[in-house]
Amino acid sequence: MPALRQSKAPIYEALLHYKSMRVVPFDVPGHKQGRGNPELKEFLGESCLSVDVNSMKPLDNLIHPVSVIKEAEELAADAFAAQHAFFMVNGTTSAVQAMIMSVCKRGDKIIIPRNVHRSAINALIVSGAVPVYVNPGINKELGIPLGMSVAEVRQAIADHPEAKAVFLNNPTYYGICTDLRTITELAHRHNMDVLVDEAHGTHFYFGEGMPVSAMAAGADMAAVSMHKTGGSLTQSSFLLIGSRPNPGHVRQIINLTQTTSGSYLLLSSLDISRRNLALDGKNIFAQVSALANYAREEINKIGGYYAFAGEMVNGDSVFAFDHTKLSVHTRNIGLAGIEVYDILRDDYGIQIEFGDIGNILAIISVGDRALALERLVAALAEIKRLYLRDQAGMLDHEYINPEIVITPQQAFYAEQYPLKIEDSAGFISAEFVMAYPPGIPILAPGERITREIIEYISYAKTKGSSLTGTADMAIEKIRVVEE
């Protein structure tokens, strides 16, 4: 096979050719290159709407690619050192679900950390797979969950040798990385697949001095959010495949839930962004790393805040740290992370990724500049000056070890009824409760509701966290399993 030219962008190039042909459209979408919706054309631009098109022979078809999308997949696989790459237009959520549903059917066990994104637990609800949860360690100073310990994974494999796969978050929202290589080797020795939620790890494939990527570690599948740090449009991602899975089977699983009307805006953004990173990713992420390191140093000079990084590495549950992540502990100035998040947005016009009970996260990527980071640092300094107070009475942890009673699928589809959250202690939850972002459940279907969980939910609401997951939009009632 001839060497692939990463300077090519087949989908983008095909769209440019399509525009030049001046085709008269009698297909969907109905806006007909924007002519049918002038307000939308004015808002998004004629150039954008002219390539918001339907699948056709010259542009290929996402559900069964044979030409330009197929070539773009091959280029993406080459760029990420994978055996195959799928273009995902339903977000990394669909990539995570496709990974799990490709290797697990109803009743199959999967070893999984409990601090996963809700998309992974949703896959268990849909597929009927049975989770074997490995509770992450906790950093008591920061109150955040860590990575999966090799010893705990080894024990889970010994206790459940029939499990089909091991699922990992790498990196976590906070930048914590697990020992991917060792866990992958361990799982493969027991004929288990390794699936990696690598939503925040696009840069691992292109930057120098980064933690190991899932494909380099030998993982079987990885879900990569190109839109988070790779520059593509929101909702666009890659699902990468290693040497073991059958790509044809994985595509069938993807096509169970992914749209048959793949957006060419999303597809072309993946194609162009892959080309940019393949050609210049080393320089791009060197700049990102430098910006993040600069901001971390300046924030730590303020005092009170703690912008943490590689000093947390312990060789196991924190095997490595993603230094592009600007995670900052805020509790020592007497403010919850969500309070700092709100003040930054409301008073300073600065939107960060999320704030939780004790920390904030600012995503640093290809689009950031030093001047913007200086503005963030200055705002944090002023917030400390204006709001500094004693931290008495503040909760000190982000993660509560759950008591699993029944599987997520059993709970979700069981007979159920609503209770006030404050009256629900001792019952089995039929729903999620989570702060979004990051979308890691405080409570998931099938878990026992405890007084500690109720107090955490109440505290998070008081501090201003955006809670979601229950049918009750006010998050005042929760549906519980009828026992």
Question: What pLDDT does 1 receive?
Answer: 44
- Both 293 and 343 in one domain: the answer is yes
Complete DSSP assignment for 80-103: TT-SEEEEESSHHHHHHHHHHHHH
- Both 415 and 375 in one domain: the answer is no
CA dihedral 235, 115, 404, 186 (to 10 degrees): 100
Rounded Cα distance between 445 and 411, Å, is 5
- Both 383 and 419 in one domain: the answer is no
Report if residue 254 sits inside a domain. no
Report if residue 252 sits inside a domain. no
Domain boundary, last residue among 326, 354, 387? 387
CATH number of the domain at 351, please: 3.90.1150.10
HEC per residue, 297-365: HHHHHHCCCEECCHHHCCCCCCCEECCCEEEEECHHHCCCHHHHHHHHHHHHCCCCCEECCCEEEEECC
- Both 299 and 354 in one domain: the answer is yes
The model's pTM = 0.95
The tokens for 381 are 């300094």
Split into its structural domains, the chain has a count of 2
Report if residue 352 sits inside a domain. yes
Residue-wise pLDDT tens digits, 220-263: 999 999 999 999 999 999 999 999 999 999 999 999 999 999 99
- Both 312 and 369 in one domain: the answer is yes
Report if residue 348 sits inside a domain. yes
Cβ neighbours for 41, distance < 8 A, ≥ 6 positions apart: 31, 34, 35, 49
Question: What pLDDT does 400 receive?
Answer: 84
Q: 451: domain range?
A: 408-481
Question: What pLDDT does 354 receive?
Answer: 92
Report if residue 361 sits inside a domain. yes
The b-or-e profile of 307-340 (16+ CB within 10 A means b, else e) is bbbeebeeebbbbbbbbbbbbbbbbbbbbbbbbb
Cβ proximity of 257 and 90 under 8 Å: yes
Rounded Cα distance between 380 and 387, Å, is 10
Domain boundary, last residue among 337, 352, 387? 387
Report if residue 173 sits inside a domain. no
Element (H, E) at 455: helix 451-463
Report if residue 231 sits inside a domain. no
What is the total residue count of the chain? 483
Reference 237, options 117, 337, 403; nearest CA is 117
- Both 377 and 290 in one domain: the answer is yes
- Both 450 and 373 in one domain: the answer is no
Report if residue 132 sits inside a domain. no
Location of structure tokens 């730590």: 300
CA 311 to chain centre: 24
- Both 369 and 425 in one domain: the answer is no
Q: Going residue by residue through the chain, which has 483 residues, state the pLDDT in tens, using 9 for 90 and above.
A: 456 799 999 999 999 999 998 888 888 899 999 899 999 999 999 999 999 999 999 999 999 999 999 999 999 999 999 999 999 999 999 999 999 999 999 999 999 998 899 999 999 999 999 999 998 888 988 989 999 999 999 999 999 999 999 999 999 999 999 999 999 999 999 999 999 999 999 999 999 999 999 999 999 999 999 999 999 999 999 999 999 999 999 999 999 999 999 999 999 999 999 999 999 999 999 999 999 999 999 999 999 999 999 999 999 999 999 999 999 999 999 999 999 999 999 999 999 999 999 999 999 988 899 999 999 999 999 999 999 998 877 877 777 888 999 999 999 999 999 999 999 999 999 999 998 778 888 999 999 999 999 999 999 899 888 899 999 999 999 999 998
Element (H, E) at 231: none
